[in-house]
Structure 1
Amino acid sequence: MLDQLWAPRAWLPGGWRERVLLDIGRDGRWSAVTPNVDAPPGAHVAAGPLLPSLVDAHSHAFQRAFAGLAEVREGTSADDFWSWRERMYAVAQRITPAQLRAVAAQLCVELLRGGYTQVCEFHYLQHDADGRPYADDPLAMAWTLADAASDAGLGLTLLPALYERAGFRQPALRPEQRRFRLDAAGVWAAARRIESAGRPLLGAGLAIHSLRAAAPESLAALRDLSEGFEGPIHIHVAEQAAEVQDCKAALGERPIQWLYDQGLLDARWQLVHATHATRKEIAAVDACEAGVVLCPTTEANLGDGLPDLEGWLAAGVSLSLGSDSQVSRDALEELRWLEYGQRLHLRRRNVAAAPGLQQPSTAARLFDAMVAGGARAAGEPSWGLTPGARADALVVDGDADALAGVPPARLLDALVFASPARPWRDVLVAGRWAIQDGRHAQGAGIAGRFHSAMEALWNEA
């Protein structure tokens, strides 16, 4: 593990600073960050400008096996989230623990290359193919995901998910959902076991798949069980317009408003997607200090719709990014799509910029928001190049063609909006290099196991 890292330039809170020395404690966290100093003897000198990494705040790892394989419309009916979901279930029904580890490890390497060093895994693939808990350990699939993240050297927040019914008026799961079943007591027990495992770079939170998949009394039970719990609580909410209408018909209110009126929301909660939120609901989320996880490439891929980004930013709600269905594993692409969706919808440029708040750079405002929001989503006390945060960082490849001739002050703008290829030369996680000179030490072996798993999965299809 490194003791000291020195960078010619680094993105600290407030923007670029020159000649920055970062000290790393034995706990793998930054112990001091000092700008305007020369590199001391023995310090590792970064090969380019240094940026904070980002947290991938919403992931379904098994869906990496399905990414890019649902882009053909079958028959004459319209294709939407609900038809995509039926095809996704086919993968969920047959993937084995060994195949999941291979797929998830490959995903983790790709996330590192894409600028993420921590992933929040929204975990609902619990049981064997028959829907029964694994005999040796009911958490077999959870440990498989933890092993995969460890293989790659990526931090992981595991979020076992409450999932008990197929819809608001369907009290049981459908056969193709049998692997997902977990009640409130099971979620709480799983999170406690994961948290107490003592594995490096592994933490735990709680998840509720959605209001349609969990009865109100089960949410109340999980709230009671988790009283005093300080970790994050994630839920899919208001992703599709049809879900909002179904919720109104079943519960009498829109989903976000219902959660707020039930007194469930607080600063631990992360609302995943929240695509169809009203300004009243945005104000409610702000009032209870909950956060929102946006997944732009997945929301675009599934045709979900566009979030009210201006509303969330204006309210000051904590925001983070997620790779979700894994159609992209690149943090910069998520940032691009987040802004570009707004530009296409509103027919304006630099929608997220706020000159009146001394934040004229769209890239800087979004990037800083995601750094801060990612910490909350992952249950981390802080994030970024600041004392106390985990010693994670991205080293920019200064020789990348896309950055040639870019003035130093505009580097972040060019990275977000004019760099189609991955620009990271090195990636640091907890003071150790996970990627060096664009290479992952275990990448070849992980890729080989991934190819074998994909061949077995799709030859069986």
Structure 2
Amino acid sequence: MQTLWARHALVAGQWLADVRVEIDAGRILSCTPDQPATGQRVHLLLPAPANSHSHAFQRAMAGLTEQRGPQAGDSFWTWRQLMFRFLNDLTPEQVEAITAFVQMEMLEAGFGASVEFHYLHHRAGGAPYRNPAEMSERIAAAAETSGIGLTLLPVLYQFGGCDGRALGPGQQRFGNTPDSYATLLSGAEGAVMQLPPDSVLGTAPHSLRAVSREALQSLPGLRPDAPIHMHLAEQKAEVDEVQAHWGARPVDWALDNLDLNGRWCLIHCTQMTAQETSALARTGAVAGLCPLTEASLGDGIFDGIRWVENAGAISIGSDSNIRISLAEELRQLDTTQRLRDHSRAAFATRARSTGRRLLEDAAIGGAQAAGRGAGRIEPGAWADLLALDTGHPDLEGLSPDTALDTFVFAGDSAMVSDVWSAGRHLVTGGRHIARDQITEDYRGAVRTLRAGL
């Protein structure tokens, strides 16, 4: 049993003062306001959102792709070729060390769980490891080291494009048939079962470009109650390719041919029409938004205001992990709406300030995307909790809503004092409890990796 006491806590959607939170077996047992200070004391207690979309290995590429390439104009597609060359040298040991470092940074930024969209399965050249789930086991091992709550999504990646062409030189490490994918998924399940009980295994068809229609129809049945994630409508060239080969724009095809519901998290969706946005929001699927990566890759701007006006759920991910910051992802999401619409405080309502709405909605949507019973501070939920230090100079003397706004729009991870993942107290005083060892392992991994570039 753990006891926390918060001067202010956002409990089931409302601010309460002097709140005692009791945690048992990783879950919140009770939340009681107006209590004397006992146990672990914090200032401002919030639900910690899940990071709903990560390619952990790409963290080691941060800053390496900002030079002008040989082509007239750089784009997502030229970046992708550089990424393919980079990943050819990655070993399982390096992937484990990099992933643990990424998860540590997520926790220190205020995320309470991680959803790993994991498509790096095989050896360079495409030959499987003796254990087909070797790389999935490395992701799980990293989570054991960092302590983060993990939703592991092994990715099905069959083709190099909508025309069914073979995987290119940089893609062979991703490839599986539906049968070999089922074998891999079974091995990944064994790895996840060794982790704490808040761990989740889901499935992920990579995109309409990379899987067959038959696989898309059958894959949800492999794990009937688990989350399903898929990239959708990220780039204009992708929309054109899908329309040419599938006879419809990606979102329209998905709406007409897939049983979209609350199990689905659709990543990016930066290339949607107004009609597609409204219709997809109403399915109950979560939009998996990665604003910093979407800006870095020139994807476009997600139509967030129209989405939430149609009761759409949102979650936040760090995708390429060039920068891992909960505050900055939320800030970028709102400021892109302002830039497009010439507005301010785009997501604010009369009842909720911008920062509060963004964080609350990301926590609830992120829990849904992760298949994780969290997202709110209430009895029965996993204790994924984030505490802000209101002793920080920029938070001094602020009301809870204004403190949240300041964290999102004027702050950063330095305002995060403590984070719990399913009750595991992993960040204290703004620092992960195993930071030194995780960082040293990461240094060793990237030192060797970058020496070969």
Q: Give the structure 2 partner of residue 167 of structure 1.
A: 161
Contact between 2:109 and 2:413, CA under 8 Å: does it hold in 1?
no
Which aligned pairs between 1:299-310 and structure 2 lie closer than 5 A?
A: 299-310=294-305
Partner SS, residue 377 of structure 1: helix
Contact between 1:49 and 1:395, CA under 8 Å: does it hold in 2?
yes
Contact between 2:267 and 2:288, CA under 8 Å: does it hold in 1?
yes
Task: Name the CA distance, whole Å, in 1 between partners of 2:402 and 2:49.
Answer: 19
Task: Name the CA distance, whole Å, in 1 between partners of 2:185 and 2:106.
Answer: 24
Q: For each residue in 1:151-210, what CA deviation from the matched residue of structure 2 results, as whole angstroms up to 9, or x when unmatched?
A: 111111000111011111242111211100123334444444434524214211000111
The yes-or-no answer on 1:417 pairing with 2:409 is yes
Q: Give the structure 1 partner of residue 200 of structure 2.
A: 203
RMSD value, Cα? 1.6
Q: Give the structure 2 partner of residue 22 of structure 1.
A: 21
Contact between 1:321 and 1:374, CA under 8 Å: does it hold in 2?
yes
- How many Å apart are 1:456 and its aligned residue? 0.6
Which aligned pairs between 1:41-120 and structure 2 lie closer than 5 A?
A: 43-75=38-70, 77-120=72-115
Task: Name the CA distance, whole Å, in 2 between partners of 1:241 and 1:407.
Answer: 43
Q: Give the structure 1 partner of residue 393 of structure 2.
A: 401
Contact between 2:325 and 2:413, CA under 8 Å: does it hold in 1?
no
The yes-or-no answer on 1:437 pairing with 2:429 is yes
Which aligned pairs between 1:276-355 and structure 2 lie closer than 5 A?
A: 276-355=271-350
Amino acid at match of 2:214: E
The yes-or-no answer on 1:220 pairing with 2:217 is yes
Q: Can you give the 5+ residue segments of structure 1 that lack an aligned partner in the other structure?
A: none
Identity, % of aligned positions: 39
Contact between 2:123 and 2:129, CA under 8 Å: does it hold in 1?
yes
Q: Can you give the 5+ residue segments of structure 2 that lack an aligned partner in the other structure?
A: none
Q: 1:367 aligns with which of 359, 368, 390?
A: 359
Task: Name the CA distance, whole Å, in 1 between partners of 2:449 and 2:158.
Answer: 26
Amino acid at match of 1:416: V
Contact between 1:184 and 1:219, CA under 8 Å: does it hold in 2?
no
Task: Name the CA distance, whole Å, in 1 between partners of 2:189 and 2:202.
Answer: 8
Q: 1:34 aligns with which of 28, 32, 35?
A: 32
Q: Give the structure 2 partner of residue 251 of structure 1.
A: 246
Amino acid at match of 1:374: G
Q: For each residue in 1:382-405, what CA deviation from the matched residue of structure 2 results, as whole angstroms up to 9, or x when unmatched?
A: 322111111121221222232234
Amino acid at match of 2:328: E
Task: Name the CA distance, whole Å, in 2 between partners of 1:106 and 1:133.
Answer: 25
Task: Name the CA distance, whole Å, in 2 between partners of 1:327 and 1:264.
Answer: 33
What TM-score do you get using the length of structure 1 for normalisation?
Answer: 0.94
Deviates more, 1:363-372 or 1:421-430: 421-430
What TM-score do you get using the length of structure 2 for normalisation?
Answer: 0.95
Partner SS, residue 434 of structure 1: strand
- How many Å apart are 1:408 and its aligned residue? 4.2
Amino acid at match of 1:165: F
Contact between 2:52 and 2:316, CA under 8 Å: does it hold in 1?
yes
Q: How many equivalent residue pairs?
A: 450
